[in-house]
C-alpha cells in the first residue's frame, strides 16, 4: 500500500547538507500497525511528513496504492491528504477558536461535504470518542485527554485508510494514554493502516511492527530486539 | 461549517488586532466620504446658483468689492445711468435683459426698507430700437440656450423675482418683496407712502429666499428723483442667454465702459468653486492616505496574522487544505474587513458631512448612496492589495510546521 523506493531526504542549511533520512526502501502493507522509534533527530518526523504527502524526498519515490504521490500536482496531493490520510499530532493541533464539533468538521469542509453531512458525521464521531456532551466546547474548555479525543475524531472525519500519528501519547497522562492507544488499536482492527512515531516504548509495543530509525537509517531486526536497543 | 465560519470565528477571537487594522481603513474612508459628500453638494449648490441666475454679468463701480451676488447693489458708489444707453446702443448679441438698479435706504412706519429703483425693459428696448434694432435681444451665433426676451404680452410683474428684469413699470407703481409685504400686510392694489410720495402696489413678488424678499422696487427715475441722487445707478445687471455670452461680453463691456468693474457670475462663485476644487484635491489626498496608511496597516496586520497562525495553517494543510484555499482564506478575510471598513467609513463620513456640511461649507448635505459603493470598492481593493503578499506567504508555508512547536 505504502512503499518507499530508495527514498532519501537531505536538508541544506548554510551550505551544509544534513541527511535526515538515508536511502531507505520499505513497504507498509494495508492494515499494518507500525511504530517508528528512535532518538530525537533520527529522522522520524521527516519520514512521517514524507509519508503524509507534505515533504517531498530529495531522492526516490513514495508510492501510495502504486501512485507516486510526489509526482502529483500540489492540489492533488492535498486531495490525497484530505481523503486517504489522517493525522494525529502530539499537541493535537486543534484550531483554538473553533468548538469541538467545528474542529471535527474542518476536514469535511475541506473535502466539500454538505453542511448537514458534516454536522451529523461530526456528532457521530465525537460520540464515538465519548464527547457527545462536549460538542460546543472550545479546546481551551476541554481537558488534555478530551482535546486528544477531539483530534482523533477529526482524524477520522474523512474516513482515512492511513493514520499517521506523531507522538500521539507524548503529552498525555497514563490513563488518557491508554485510552488513545486503545482507540488506535480499534482503528487498526477496523482495517486502517497506522504508522505511529513514538518515544514511548510501551506505546510502540502496541504496534505489530517496529521500525527503528537511527541517524537517518532504518535498522532491521526483530521487534523485541529493536525495542530493547531503543 | 464553511470558510466563512473560520474567518468569522478567527476575527471574533482576536478583536484587538481586528479593530487596529479596521481603524485606519475606517478613518481614511470616513474622511474621504465626508469631504467628497460636502464637495458634491457644494458643487450642486454652485451649479444650482448658475442655473438659477443665468449667465449674468454685473457692471459695478470700480471700487466696489463684490461679496454677495444678491447684495451686489448695496453700496454707496454709483456709475452714470448713461452707461445703460451706451449698452443698449452698442449692439450686443445674446442679451436677454439689461437692468440698472439704484438702492436707497428709507423707512416705512419706522421700519427700515431698501427702495430699489429699476428701469423696465420696455424703455431699454426703445433705446435699442432708436439705434435701428441692433443685435440686442437677439440670439447670438452658436448659442446653445433659448433666448428669452420678454415682450408686452408675455412678461408679468412677477418675473422680476425669477428673471431679475421687469417689462413694464409706471413711475407711481411699486413691487413688494414677499417678506416686506407680509410684515406690512400689503397686497396688490394697496397704497403706501415712501419718501413722501404715494405708490400703488402693482404686485407682491413670490418669495426668492434672497434679500429681494424684504425690498420695495420702484421705477428707477422715480427713486432718482425722490432721493436726489441724479441720473446714477449702483449696478447694471446684464442677463446673457448663456455662459458663452457672459464670457464674451466681459471684454466688450470693459472696453465700452471704462471706469467700471465687470464681473461674471462665474467670478461671483469663484470662491466657492475654488473651495470645491480644494476639497476635491483634499479627497484625493485622503484617498492616497487611505491607500498608504490603511494599506500599510492592513498589510502589517495581515503579516502578523500569518505569523501568528503558522501552526494552524500547517495543520489545515495537513488536513487537506490546498494553497489556493489558504490564499482565499486570507483574502476573503481582507475583503470582509475592507467591506466593513468601507461601509462603516461611509456611514460615519456621511454623518459627519450631514452635521458639519452646513457649518463649514454653508450647504445642506444629504448622504449620497453612490459614495457607499465607491467607499466599499476602494476599501476592499486596498485591503485585498495589502493582504495579497501575506496571503501568498501563508499559502507557501511548509505544512510540516504542524509537527513543530511554533
A171 in reach of chain B (CB within 8 A): no
pLDDT (tens digit per residue) in B210-240: 888 889 999 999 999 999 999 999 999 888 7
CA torsion, points B181, B184, B186, B190, in degrees to nearest 10? -130
Domain ranges of chain A: 97-157
The SS3 assignment for A74 reads helix
Q: How far is A93 from chain B, CA to nearest CA, in Å?
A: 7
User: Which chain A residues are closer than 8 Å to B312 by Cβ?
Assistant: 93, 95-96
| Facing residue for B320 by CB, picked from A55, A98, A111 | A111
Contact B1 A96 (CB under 8 A): no
**Which of A179, A188, A191, A220 lies closest to A207 in space, CA to CA?**
A188
Q: Beta strand pairing status for A162-166 and A193-197?
A: parallel
Rounded alpha-carbon distances, angstroms, from residue A212 to A22, A201, A221, B32 = 13, 11, 9, 66
Rounded alpha-carbon distances, angstroms, from residue B47 to B52, B229, B276 = 8, 37, 12
Contact A110 B316 (CB under 8 A): yes
What per-residue confidence (pLDDT) applies to B139? Answer: 58
Residue B198 has pLDDT above 70, yes or no: yes
Contact A49 B405 (CB under 8 A): no
Contact A93 B13 (CB under 8 A): no
Contact A81 B398 (CB under 8 A): no
The model's confidence at residue B406, banded by pLDDT at 50, 70 and 90, is very low
Q: Average model confidence (pLDDT) for chain B?
A: 83
Contact by Cβ (8 Å): B258, B61: no
Share of chain B above pLDDT 70, in %: 82
Contact A166 B13 (CB under 8 A): no
Size of interface A-B (CB pairs under 8 A): 87
DSSP summary character for residue B196: T
A96 in reach of chain B (CB within 8 A): yes
Is the predicted ipTM greater than 0.90, yes or no? yes
pLDDT (tens digit per residue) in B21-31: 788 888 888 98
The model's confidence at residue A227, banded by pLDDT at 50, 70 and 90, is low
Task: Please report, in angstroms and rounded to a whole number, the separation of the first and last CA atoms in chain B.
Answer: 26
Residues B382-406 as b/e (b if ≥16 CB within 10 A, e otherwise) read bbbebbbebbebbbebebbbbbeee
pLDDT (tens digit per residue) in A91-107: 889 999 999 999 999 99
The model's confidence at residue B149, banded by pLDDT at 50, 70 and 90, is low
Amino acid at each position: 500500500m505504502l512503499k518507499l523506493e530508495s527514498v532519501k531526504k537531505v536538508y541544506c542549511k548554510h551550505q551544509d547538507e544534513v541527511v535526515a533520512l538515508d536511502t531507505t526502501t520499505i513497504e507498509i502493507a494495508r492494515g499494518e500497525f507500525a511504530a517508528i522509534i528512535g532518538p530525537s533527530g533520527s529522522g522520524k518526523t521527516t519520514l512521517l511528513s514524507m509519508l503524509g504527502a507534505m515533504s517531498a524526498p530529495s531522492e526516490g519515490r513514495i508510492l501510495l496504492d502504486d501512485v507516486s504521490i510526489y509526482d502529483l500536482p500540489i492540489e492533488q496531493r492535498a486531495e490525497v491528504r484530505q481523503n486517504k490520510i489522517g493525522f494525529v499530532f502530539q499537541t493535537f493541533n486543534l484550531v483554538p477558536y473553533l468548538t469541538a464539533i467545528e474542529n471535527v468538521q474542518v476536514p469535511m469542509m475541506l473535502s466539500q461535504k454538505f453542511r448537514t453531512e458534516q454536522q451529523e458525521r461530526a456528532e457521530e464521531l465525537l460520540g464515538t470518542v465519548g464527547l457527545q456532551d462536549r460538542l460546543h466546547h472550545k479546546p481551551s474548555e476541554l481537558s488534555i485527554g478530551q482535546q486528544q479525543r477531539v483530534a482523533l475524531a477529526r482524524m477520522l472525519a474523512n474516513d482515512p485508510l492511513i493514520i499517521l500519528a506523531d507522538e500521539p501519547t507524548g503529552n498525555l497522562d497514563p490513563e488518557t494514554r491508554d485510552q488513545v492507544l486503545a482507540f488506535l488499536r480499534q482503528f487498526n482492527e477496523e482495517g486502517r493502516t497506522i504508522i505511529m512515531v513514538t518515544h514511548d516504548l510501551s506505546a510502540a509495543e502496541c504496534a505489530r511492527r517496529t521500525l527503528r530509525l537511527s541517524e537517518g537509517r532504518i535498522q532491521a531486526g526483530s521487534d523485541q530486539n529493536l525495542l530493547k536497543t531503543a | 461549517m464553511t470558510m466563512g465560519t473560520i474567518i468569522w470565528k478567527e476575527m471574533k477571537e482576536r478583536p484587538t488586532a481586528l479593530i487596529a487594522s479596521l481603524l485606519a481603513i475606517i478613518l481614511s474612508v470616513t474622511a474621504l466620504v465626508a469631504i467628497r459628500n460636502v464637495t458634491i453638494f457644494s458643487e450642486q449648490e454652485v451649479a444650482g446658483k448658475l442655473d438659477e441666475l443665468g449667465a449674468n454679468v454685473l457692471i459695478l463701480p470700480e471700487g466696489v468689492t463684490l461679496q454677495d451676488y444678491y447684495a451686489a447693489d448695496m453700496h454707496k458708489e454709483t456709475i452714470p445711468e448713461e452707461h445703460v444707453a451706451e449698452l443698449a446702443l452698442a449692439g450686443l448679441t445674446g442679451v436677454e435683459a439689461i437692468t440698472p438698479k439704484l438702492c436707497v435706504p428709507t423707512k416705512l412706519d419706522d421700519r427700515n426698507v431698501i427702495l430699489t429703483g429699476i428701469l423696465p425693459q420696455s424703455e431699454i428696448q426703445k433705446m435699442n430700437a432708436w439705434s435701428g434694432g441692433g443685435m440686442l435681444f437677439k440670439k447670438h451665433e452658436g448659442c446653445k440656450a433659448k433666448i428669452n426676451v420678454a415682450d408686452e404680452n408675455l412678461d408679468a410683474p412677477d418675473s422680476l423675482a425669477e428673471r431679475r428684469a421687469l417689462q413694464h413699470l409706471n413711475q407711481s407703481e411699486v413691487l413688494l418683496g414677499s417678506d416686506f409685504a407680509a410684515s406690512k400686510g400689503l397686497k396688490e392694489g394697496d397704497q403706501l407712502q415712501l419718501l413722501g410720495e404715494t405708490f400703488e402696489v402693482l404686485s407682491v413678488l413670490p418669495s426668492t429666499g434672497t434679500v429681494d424678499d424684504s425690498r420695495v422696487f420702484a421705477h428707477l427715475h422715480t427713486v432718482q428723483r425722490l432721493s436726489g441722487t441724479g441720473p446714477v445707478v449702483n449696478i447694471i445687471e446684464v442677463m446673457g442667454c448663456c455662459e458663452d455670452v457672459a464670457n464674451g461680453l466681459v471684454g466688450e463691456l470693459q472696453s465700452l465702459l471704462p471706469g467700471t468693474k465687470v464681473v461674471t457670475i462665474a467670478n461671483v462663485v469663484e470662491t466657492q468653486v475654488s473651495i470645491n476644487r480644494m476639497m476635491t484635491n483634499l479627497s484625493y489626498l485622503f484617498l492616497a492616505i487611505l491607500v498608504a496608511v490603511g494599506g500599510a496597516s492592513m498589510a502589517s496586520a495581515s503579516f502578523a496574522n500569518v505569523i501568528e497562525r503558522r501552526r494552524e495553517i500547517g495543520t489545515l494543510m495537513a488536513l487537506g487544505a490546498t494553497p489556493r484555499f489558504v490564499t482565499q482564506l486570507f483574502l476573503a478575510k481582507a475583503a470582509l474587513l475592507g467591506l466593513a471598513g468601507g461601509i462603516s467609513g461611509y456611514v460615519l463620513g456621511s454623518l459627519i458631512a450631514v452635521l458639519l456640511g452646513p457649518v463649514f461649507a454653508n450647504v445642506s448635505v444629504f448622504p449620497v448612496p453612490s459614495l457607499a459603493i465607491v467607499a466599499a470598492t476602494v476599501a476592499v481593493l486596498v485591503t485585498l492589495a495589502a493582504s495579497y503578499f501575506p496571503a501568498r506567504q501563508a499559502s507557501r508555508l511548509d505544512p510540516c510546521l504542524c509537527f513543530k512547536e511554533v
